[in-house]
Structure 1
Amino acid sequence: MTALALTGGLVIDGTGAPGRHETVLVDNGHLTGLTTGEPPAHARRVDVTGRVVCPGFVDLHTHSDLTLLSDPRGLSKIHQGVTTEVVGNCGLGVTGPERADLRAAVSYLDLDPAVRWTWRDLPGYLDALTAARPGLNVAALVGHLVLHAGVCGFTDRPATAAERDTMAGLLREALDAGAVGLSTGLIYAPLPFVRDAELRALAEVTASAGKVFTWHVRSYDDGLVDSVAQAVAVARATGCRTQISHLAAVGRRNWGAVRRALDLVEEANAAGCSVGVDIYPYLHGNAPLAQLLPAWAQEGGPATWVPTLRDAAVRARIRDAWTDRPTTWDEVTVSWTAHPNPAVGRTIADLAAGRDGDDVVLDLLAELGTGVMMTAGGRSEDDLRTVLDHPDAVVASDGLALDPGGVTGAGVPHPRSYGCFPRYLTRYATDLPDAIRRCTSAPAARAGLTDRGVLRAGAPADLVVFDPARLGDPATFTDPHQFATGIDLVLVNGEVTVENGGHTGRRAGQVLRT
């Protein structure tokens, strides 16, 4: 590795402290110091005058579980300054043996059919990632869906005490093997069928390991406050460090509910809990279209429910459930399909063209099952700013590492996969040191990654150099496959991975086991 001396830049160290004009010294993969003196003669000098030097961004909430095996460079993320990702979020994961029903249930992750699951457990998955030589650091959560479906299947019933014990044992093994925590996603079948006893049992295991439990809560629309209350109640009962994922309120009638949800977080923390939240700086979300189905309609897994969507009685019952939806079909756009389809890039209202939008959605799901994704709106700018400004909030993309020139570059995915962090820093940050803290040391701490997210002597040299005058997020919902601008230099474990806006081809990431 080449020793580097980054001179002339404004150093913002990730702690929230004010920036300082110092030289950053890098050698043998680590930061060796911050100095105002003369750099060592053997170091390659890089003049970064007029730019900001900060830790690489730590993306706490991602879904790159399989895309980093498709293209380990992680292009859409590394080009926006991300040097560490946490995968396995929303209860979705790939840390068990490959099964057709499980792979279909986590289709959100599955953009490249050529990627095979050659492992049977979390250590095997982490070994596969290590062998792929990722271009950024990767830590993994244990996906609740894999645990529950592997033990209980896809039926609507509570886990027995013996089944809870089995899941708890599997979780304990995965946490001991290096997973940074557990995630749940109580809207992804079969997790809507999970009862509190199971959530508390798994939270107790996670708490005993000193790790984090992240929640995609049951509802982000009419049931948001009750859903956050459920997560907070489990945190209070077990003492488990808890993260509420992508906190937002969907549907105009629910605007303002995030304030009540944050009140619950504040009350829990005042009582000694550790509950955090994260959000991305956009007013649209991204999810499988099947997420719109009532839970009962997804019972049995995709192999069971997809054929029933052509049944008139089933369709009528679903349409009844959709009568009072909080969003409208002009707010929902088809963003990706597993096979080429002319629906991609068009709203459901546009596709309907005189037909009923409900029928359009049901036809798409009957044809494509879980292999169709959507972007969906219905959110408030005021709510977004309320969450972003909250002291317990961090920034996280909820996106994937994508290759715009490869198979994972298909469709019109959410632009957060390309522009989340530059967008936040340029459009929402009012205090740059604190904003960088929310993108670096704060999310690292939530995941228990104590050696990432801060510039200090001895830490791994993950860092970003950006030009505040040129920093930007050109990726849009109609043209998302565009790299961020103004990211001039990215180092991963001391290796120059992005320089002058171009990828160097180096892949120096590490698989982080805690």
Structure 2
Amino acid sequence: MKKKYLHLLFIFLGLFSCGRHDTFDILIVKGTVYDGQNQPPTQKDIGIRDGKIVAIGDLEGQKSRKTILAEGLAVAPGFIDMHTHLEPLLEMPLAESLVRQGVTFALGGPDGGGPWPFDSYLDSLEKIDLGLNVGYLIGHNTIRREIMGNEDRAPESAELDSLKSYVHQAMDAGAFGISTGLKYLPGTFAKLDEIVTLSQVVAAEGGIYTSHLREEGLGLIDAVQEAIKISKEANIPVVLTHHKAIGIKMWGQSSRTLALVDSARAVGLDIMMDQYPYAASHTGISVLIPSWALEGDQFEERISNPALKDSIKAGIIFNILNDRGGSDLRRIQFSRVSWKKELEGKTLQDWLAMEGMEATIENGAELVIQAQLNGGTGTIYHAMDENDVENIMQHPQTMIGSDGRLSIPGEGHPHPRAYGTFPRVLGHYSREKGVLDLHTAIHKMTGLSAERLGLKGRGKIQEGNFADIVIFDPQTIKDKSTFTDPHQYPEGIPFVIVNGQVAVEDDRFLGRGFGQVIRKNQQ
């Protein structure tokens, strides 16, 4: 008798289990599915359970706790931001400015500026609710500054060993690779052999190398060639990050840089790029100042020397005329000015007018010096050509990265890429200008990026993958953030799903965190 009842109990539990197994947590029906693999879309339903995609096909009539009708909408893998400034993540853990764009994974630590200590920082992130998945690069500038300060010299043998040890530690803790910022201090003082040595450590552990090139203006061609040489000598995949040709004298030179990429790939080197879809860059005001003048944190002392000040000012004038300044004071726009908030959104020419000074390049250089002495500024440089932007975007090895800093409405005057990068590619460049087919545009921000990073189970719509999904209207998706009014979220993205949980529903950000810290070696 006991055996009979036990048998019936097992049957009941089995039926209960089957019934529960047949119920999806989320069912997305009648959507136009872009799988992230650069293929035309198909009409399919998607079933999600326990954070993963468990069924794709005709799922009509299936049970679900939540059903999303996606008729007329595009269903794509969650977007992957290949270059993100996540520095405020502990203060803005839900990362609304990214999630509302459809971003479900962001790669932090670009331009040589990764967190340190690396492992403990990632540990701290794992203790809070994150709005999206994050991974990190180890920043060369960060660890070089830890060991050598801002000194213009090669590392001694013991210092190089320490740098290698720091890189090893970060890779063991789950870094996806190393980033350099060879335009910035102290990376600008690093020679090729130092970068190659550290990149070899990364390559041995399956990581990648991403670089803010040594120059993106007049020295662009040499800088691309240097990155290619690093790839060859370190045997490492390279990403030319936020690739661009900046300064009027370099407009049109993307044809040469892309030819260099093609030539390198033809001989077996693994070179790729990422890009943001704007003809303006963003960095500090110090990029206009010769790097030698900033070495060792002695800028104020050097400016007090009349002869050195003349040389520094001459260098600033040269950069305004020939490089990031775009030969026009109106092309230099302030985004963050902690010591003079009324400058935010204004240009260098506006500042001259506020001070009652004549709008000359020489006077502009004087104010650049004053800005640096006051602590610097975040600055937007309108010094790129739209034709180069489109040329780079169309290259098959170009991925999408915002280079945006996490932002919240009303704080500073950020570059619009912080709010609009991904919808701008899909709306402005794909739908309106026809620069990319929609499935190609999606591939550049999903499958291509996931493959580059070695992200497992993400970047494509596939059974067994994590349910990172964005649902958008291809007819209305649009970036609304502008250079004059940046604090605007995009439109046309009604749903974003992170690890099988709805983060954006009916255009509303739900204010809940479902993201994870992803360590490359622990996926």
1:378 paired residue number? 383
Contact 2:407–2:414 (Cα < 8 Å) also in 1: no
Matched residue SS, 1:197:
helix
Shift of 1:341: 2.6
Task: Work out the CA distance in 2 between the residues paired with 1:134 and 1:309.
Answer: 44
The counterpart of 1:53, out of the listed 70, 75, 87, is 75
Shift of 1:339: 3.8
2:5 paired residue number? none
Task: Work out the CA distance in 1 between the residues paired with 2:245 and 2:405.
Answer: 22
Aligned: 1:367 with 2:342: no
1:415 paired residue number? 416
1:187 paired residue number? 183
User: What does 1:51-90 align with in structure 2 at a 5 Å threshold?
Assistant: 51-64=73-86, 66-90=87-111
1:335 paired residue number? 335
Task: Work out the CA distance in 2 between the residues paired with 1:359 and 1:40.
Answer: 69
| Most deviating of 319-328 and 70-79 | 319-328
Task: Work out the CA distance in 1 between the residues paired with 2:107 and 2:307.
Answer: 42
Aligned: 1:454 with 2:475: no
Task: Work out the CA distance in 2 between the residues paired with 1:467 and 1:461.
Answer: 19
User: What does 1:20-39 align with in structure 2 at a 5 Å threshold?
Assistant: 20-39=42-61
Runs (5+) with no aligned partner, structure 2: 1-22, 431-435
1:99 paired residue number? none
The one-letter amino acid paired with 2:312 is I
Distance 1:497 1:306, change over 3 A: farther
Distance 1:39 1:260, change over 3 A: farther
Contact 1:55–1:440 (Cα < 8 Å) also in 2: yes
Distance 1:337 1:261, change over 3 A: same
* TM-score normalised by structure 2 residue count: 0.89
| Most deviating of 252-261 and 310-319 | 310-319
Task: Work out the CA distance in 2 between the residues paired with 1:310 and 1:34.
Answer: 68
1:481 paired residue number? 487
Matched residue SS, 1:22:
strand
The one-letter amino acid paired with 2:416 is P
The one-letter amino acid paired with 1:209 is E
Aligned: 1:437 with 2:443: yes
Task: Work out the CA distance in 2 between the residues paired with 1:37 and 1:350.
Answer: 59
Aligned: 1:320 with 2:314: yes
Show CA shifts across 1:96-139 (max 9, x none). xxxxxxxxxxxxxxxxxxxxxxxxx2110001111122110000
Distance 1:440 1:306, change over 3 A: farther
Distance 1:306 1:418, change over 3 A: farther
1:114 paired residue number? none
Contact 1:60–1:444 (Cα < 8 Å) also in 2: no
| Most deviating of 394-403 and 337-346 | 337-346
Show CA shifts across 1:310-329 (max 9, x none). 54333211121134332232
Matched residue SS, 1:461:
coil
Task: Work out the CA distance in 1 between the residues paired with 2:304 and 2:423.
Answer: 44
The one-letter amino acid paired with 1:332 is I
* TM-score normalised by structure 1 residue count: 0.91
| Cα root mean square deviation, aligned | 1.5
Task: Work out the CA distance in 2 between the residues paired with 1:324 and 1:178.
Answer: 42
Contact 2:27–2:64 (Cα < 8 Å) also in 1: no
Identity %: 34
Larger radius of gyration: 2
Contact 2:281–2:383 (Cα < 8 Å) also in 1: no
Task: Work out the CA distance in 2 between the residues paired with 1:44 and 1:364.
Answer: 54
Task: Work out the CA distance in 1 between the residues paired with 2:105 and 2:59.
Answer: 30
Task: Work out the CA distance in 2 between the residues paired with 1:2 and 1:375.
Answer: 46
Show CA shifts across 1:481-511 (max 9, x none). 1101011000000010000111112201000
The counterpart of 2:203, out of the listed 204, 207, 210, is 207
1:509 paired residue number? 515
2:156 paired residue number? 160
Matched residue SS, 1:333:
strand
Shift of 1:93: 2.2
Contact 2:279–2:386 (Cα < 8 Å) also in 1: yes
1:110 paired residue number? none
Task: Work out the CA distance in 2 between the residues paired with 1:468 and 1:34.
Answer: 21
Contact 2:427–2:476 (Cα < 8 Å) also in 1: no
Aligned: 1:91 with 2:87: no
Task: Work out the CA distance in 2 between the residues paired with 1:305 and 1:441.
Answer: 45
| Most deviating of 482-491 and 424-433 | 424-433
Shift of 1:184: 0.2
Contact 1:5–1:46 (Cα < 8 Å) also in 2: yes
1:15 paired residue number? 37
